[in-house]
Structure 1
């Protein structure tokens, strides 16, 4: 494992064929705030987050993950990471430079082992944000991103070796072996997870709510609006966080969650949890059963953006 120079998850950027419908969903019922929106490009902020935006939407012919962005403490750490990755043979999209996205900053992009575009940045201007009020059921921040992988062991090893991610817990199945790896880059139980899947794609993006009441209010609001629910509401064992999974209009899985565990990293030892035990998937026992329908929806469509850097 390399020295950990990544501090946190910043945003997830999605390319979508039906831009207007996606923008209406995320800026309306999902509860994000559009900022710096242009023709075919929208930056969506969470009212409770200092990040300039946590979701970027881009009009495109094909659905894909444009990139996943992580923060670093300063420009020196950005340069160090870029140098280490290049020396290890990782393909950089570009050298570190001034960013042309909202809030500016300094950063670079590279392809991970499966071809996803990853961005590392520092010195991005902080957005004016506010405390989310009691009963206000809108996202506070982007909690984590989960990726499907055809080589999950290799992908976990990549993020461990090159970016200093630490393993928090693993989910396994008695017949299928290890199925999901939870990775952290700070005290939060995970900011990324890697799931075994039939192709590389977005498994889900998760949004942290103020508390359990706000999480349930948000879940209920989406149900009343007829948004397709895949799984939940319930509470996972790994990470101890609540979950309600829905489909956005383009078929990406998005999650409302809250109370993700914060670890004492000096004393934490990863667990191996058996997901055939119902209490591992849902401690409360309130969610629909994890079945082939839920799994198929979370596999998503194959990512069309591998080893192709987004144009912006």
Structure 2
């Protein structure tokens, strides 16, 4: 019981520390500091974690408790990412966004600075119950597609989206239904598969649909597979989903765990309307850590 209590406290601590870092100073770690530590023959990944831990007031060299916390969380949490791995992604390679604004929505590109930290995958849960966020960084600037809503980032295709949609893309087959359009990443990746016949997308925002249909969909190699329906996701799930006889249903309606839990639980209640469908959910592993 004491061990479980300590692990829960550690889980709360790492999320509190990271929330403050990611929201207030994600570019805190600087190249010069990384290179200074490289003189001690440590990797960029270790140096990044060491600098971040020091910023949190931790002494991972002489303090046994801090050192254990660093080993349990920071070592499996921090990842230096290879930009070429993502630049070779089919969507990144084949889809180009023009600088276009329709209504309150705007297509654009945003960028991570060198050594800027960001969430890069689902939360990893260990057998002993540790919940370990996944934080990535690049050592060069990395640009990614985005939709701005009222000049604020609303939807993106970052390494996090790519990593956390891999399973849903891999499992797509036959007739696919997806809730949430965004920049069409999932629709594109699913439509590229030979064993996918159709991809029906339910999206409620007409500006997002307009941007997609005019400037992104024409670039799809298999645009004939794509069908867009403007509707509320939950109303569609309640009244129309079963009639489509979809093989796979993928839901991507939320920005993160905080606003996703309620929608995730609500969408789960509609699964019994389509017992022949396989239901998949964006960042489900992370959401379930909080349930």
Q: What's the TM-score bracket when you normalise by the shorter of the two chains?
A: under 0.3
If the length of structure 1 is used for normalisation, what is the TM-score?
A: 0.26
Structure possessing the higher relative contact order (Cα contacts under 8 Å, 6 or more residues apart): 1
Q: Indicate the structure with greater strand content.
A: 1
